Amino acid sequence: MTIRASDSVRARNLRLRVAHCITAMTRGATLQLTYTRHGSDFCLLDGTRIPPEVALAVVNDTRIHSVDKGLFPGTPQTWRYVEP
């Protein structure tokens, strides 16, 4: 028998993971998108892997800005925290 987490618990966990990632970025870490043979992969500068749903929420935060143009136009691969 499996017990499933409710939507509110999942949403809270997502918010906590996003907050943890943004806190690391306030201390100078950057969020980077890399491509592997298994697909895209997000990680912080220190090597911490970030799940795609967390990375999506982080890059949509108004305090996070892309700092490069990426390999192709319109596809940034590095994001940094910018003071509001």
Question: Which domain range does residue 66 map to?
Answer: 31-84
- For helices 7-26 and 52-59, angle between their N-to-C axes, nearest 10 degrees: 60
Q: What is the reported pTM?
A: 0.83
* Nearest alpha-carbon partner for 58 in 73, 72, 43, 74: 43
- pLDDT one-digit tens code per residue, 4-56: 667 788 889 999 999 999 999 999 999 999 988 999 999 999 999 999 999 99
Q: Is 78 helix (H, G, I), strand (E, B) or coil?
A: strand
The H-assigned helical ranges of the chain are 7-26, 52-59
Is residue 5 assigned to a domain?
A: no
Is residue 12 assigned to a domain?
A: no
Please tell me the predicted confidence (pLDDT) of residue 2: 57
Is residue 68 assigned to a domain?
A: yes
- Two tokens at 37? 């043979």
Please tell me the predicted confidence (pLDDT) of residue 20: 96
Is residue 14 assigned to a domain?
A: no
What is the number of domains present in the chain?
A: 1
Is residue 75 assigned to a domain?
A: yes
Is residue 8 assigned to a domain?
A: no
